[in-house]
Amino acid sequence: MAEKTLAGKTVEVNDEGYLLNRDDWDKDLAAEMAKEDGIELTDKHYEVLEYLREKEAAGESLTIRKVGKSGITDIKGLYQLFPGGPLKLSSKYAGIAKPASCV
Amino acid sequence: MKKLVILGAGTAGTMMANKLRGALDREEWSITIVDQFKTHYYQPGFLFIPFGIYNSHDVIKPKSDFIPTGVNMIYSAIDRVEAESNKVHLEGGKILNYDYLIIATGTKTFPDETPGLQDKLWHKEIFDFYTIEGACALQRFFKGWEGGKLVMAITELPYKCPVAPLEFVFLADAYFTQIGIRDKVDISYVTPMPGAFTKPVATKMLSELLAEKNITVIPDFYIERVDNDSKKLISYDEREVEFDVLTVVPVNMGDEMIERSGLGDDMNFVPTDKETLQSKKHENIFVLGDASNIPTSKAGSVAHFAAEILFENLMSAIEGRPLHAKFDGHANCYIETGFGKGALIDFNYDTEPLPGTFPLPGLGPFGLLENTKINHYGKVMFRWIYWHILLKGKELPVEPLMTMAGKKKVN
């Protein structure tokens, strides 16, 4: 656990940089998190983040396939938006927990 | 007469039919179980078929052997559930009314969800071992194979029996060593997960074992398609893995009937309360086994532990009492590691697999997260236990909820 100042706000994050409290999230904070990884957030990125926040709040499990079927973008597009780790990165910028795949 | 209907006569449905027939008054309750297939497969045995350890006759029995008298077995495909009016429509138009419904239709593999998988190399150089046909085709292939690149690939999460592909590569290592061509076989393990396993302590143990056996792990590889001409896996971020023979865990989804009934999520798994095992939408529907979306392994052991909780809660519901039993996501999996040894993991929603002993603290006989001969015997004996005790809904000396007794905390 650590504290971090993002977009002028002090928030609690875990050792991988994920917010501990999803209510701390706002768009500026997301932009700053993404910037640290060299990603500039566009409206398309934000649509994905909002979608993830909504689904997570509803208690649904999150998978790349699910986001790919969301109508916002397809899986290929998702990889282009968040290169390297679409779900790992997008969930971090969405201020939610890293989706745990069940064993 | 009140009516209880169970959809699916696999591991979960069969166990419930046996438990409930013993508990519900025959004068008061009719129990009907529906399945389109007449054969019960011992699915944990499929893994052994490619290596000739088991053959198809070792894993097959008629479903009717396990359905108790007093339970009405219907062999039919299911068209859909009409939950608003408590009806099940069977294929051909027959309708079953129910007071309570248990959905146990499991998960299926859908190779056609991945472009190029079910193409010209399917069951020739590309195989699955989640079907009897795939497992037997692979056995025939391995008998004549002289070596090359063997790739075990997972297409999507969740999938049935999360340790099975690991066991597959361990057994392949042993098999090719024993027939003397291990030096000609290059084994890789391709997974969309960040490592060999999701939880840190088990990942460490399993990664060491994979390294020791000279099996390459290719993590974070999310398969977009399979190119049959160049024999390559291609990921969404355009990485490639070449293969000579590909063994694959296809995309898993719930039965199409769930989709037709409007009861599923986007993977056709039924949204289910992870503690009570009641459907989130309908109070008189319960869901057991792989058909549900509860966040634990899709595995027979989970269905077995959950069956006891579901039984308690269904009895409470029938008697108008609150649902007091709470499932913890308990799973218990033997992991065959080859050369007559095995590992064992025991975990739940909150506790990752930890080292220790099972089921008796300090005594075992099984070692958790240890690679031992006795763990392998546990798996070998399990087939007998499955047919004779588990499916018949009898008690096993293992508690349904996970216990920390016998486990060591790891920092």
Least CB–CB distance from A102: residue in B194, B237, B296: B296
Boundary (domain end) residue, out of B251, B281, B296: B251
Supply the pLDDT for residue A9.
87
Tell me which chain A residue has its CA closest to the CA of residue B267: A66
Q: Which of A7-16, B31-40, B119-128 has the lowest mean pLDDT?
A: A7-16
Q: Are residues B277 and B297 in the same domain?
A: yes
User: Are B237 and A84 in contact (CB < 8 Å)?
Assistant: yes
**Amino acid B411: pLDDT:** 63
% chain B with pLDDT above 90: 90
* Residue-level pLDDT at A1: 65
Q: Band of the pLDDT at B116, cuts 50, 70, 90?
A: very high
* Domain co-membership, B46 together with B116: no
Residue B48: inside a domain: yes
In this predicted model, what pLDDT tens digit does every residue of B333-376 receive, in sequence order? Answer: 999 999 999 999 999 999 999 999 999 998 889 999 999 999 99
Which tokens sit at B206?
Answer: 């399993």
Tokens coding B82:
């009409």
Give me the number of domains chain B comprises: 3
User: Which chain A residues have a beta carbon less than 8 Å from that of B195?
Assistant: none
pLDDT of residue A100: 67
Is the model's pLDDT at B281 over the cut of 90? Answer: yes
Across the interface, do A101 and B331 touch by the CB < 8 Å criterion? no
- Please report, to the nearest 10 degrees, the dihedral formed by the alpha carbons of residues A7, A8, A9, A11 taken in order: 70
Domain holding B264, by residue range, is 2-106+255-318
Of A83, A84, A102, the CB nearest to B158: A102
- Tell me the pLDDT of chain B averaged across its residues: 95
State whether B201 and B102 are in the same domain: no
pLDDT mean over B2-25: 97
Contact by Cβ (8 Å): B409, B323: no
B210 alpha carbon, distance to own chain's centre: 22
Same domain flag for B116 and B222: yes
Q: Which residues neighbour A93 within 8 Å (Cβ) at sequence distance 6 or greater?
A: A30, A33, A34, A39, A41, A45, A49
Least confident of A67-81, B178-192, B304-318: A67-81
Instruction: Say which residue, A23 or A66, is predicted with more confidence.
Output: A23
Same domain, B32 and B131: no
Tokens read off for B276: 């009570």
pLDDT of residue A65: 83
| Claim to verify: residue B198 and residue B132 sit in the same structural domain | yes
**Which pLDDT band, with edges at 50, 70 and 90, does A103 fall under?**
very low
Per-residue DSSP letter, A38: T
- Token digits for B133? 């046909």
Residue linked to tokens 């508690």: B399
Listed residue (B301, B334, B290) closest to B160, CA to CA: B290
**Is residue B195 over pLDDT 50?**
yes
Mean pLDDT of chain A: 89
**Rounded percentage of chain B residues whose pLDDT exceeds 70:** 100
pLDDT of residue B197: 86
Q: Based on the domain organization, do B262 and B247 belong to the same domain? A: no
pLDDT digits (tens, 9 = 90+) for B257-275: 999 999 999 899 999 999 9
- In chain B, the residue whose alpha carbon lies closest to the alpha carbon of A102 is B296
Domain presence at residue B351: yes
Tokens at B128, concatenated: 């699955």
At A64 the pLDDT is: 85
In a domain, B178, yes or no: yes
Residue that wins the pLDDT comparison between B199 and B89 = B89
Choose among B256, B268, B230, B267: nearest CA to B119: B230
Residues B353, B241 within the same domain: no
Q: Is the pLDDT of residue A80 over 70?
A: yes
pLDDT at B208 over 60: yes
Same domain, B129 and B216: yes
**How far is B49 from B41, CA to CA, in rounded Å?**
13
Strand partners, B380: none
| A103 catalytically annotated | no
Query: Which letter does DSSP use for residue A19 in this model?
Result: B
Same domain, B127 and B228: yes
Contact A102 B295 (CB under 8 A): yes
- Is the confidence at residue A88, as pLDDT, over 70? yes
If asked whether residues B377 and B340 sit together in one domain, one would say yes
Least CB–CB distance from A60: residue in B198, B220, B265: B265
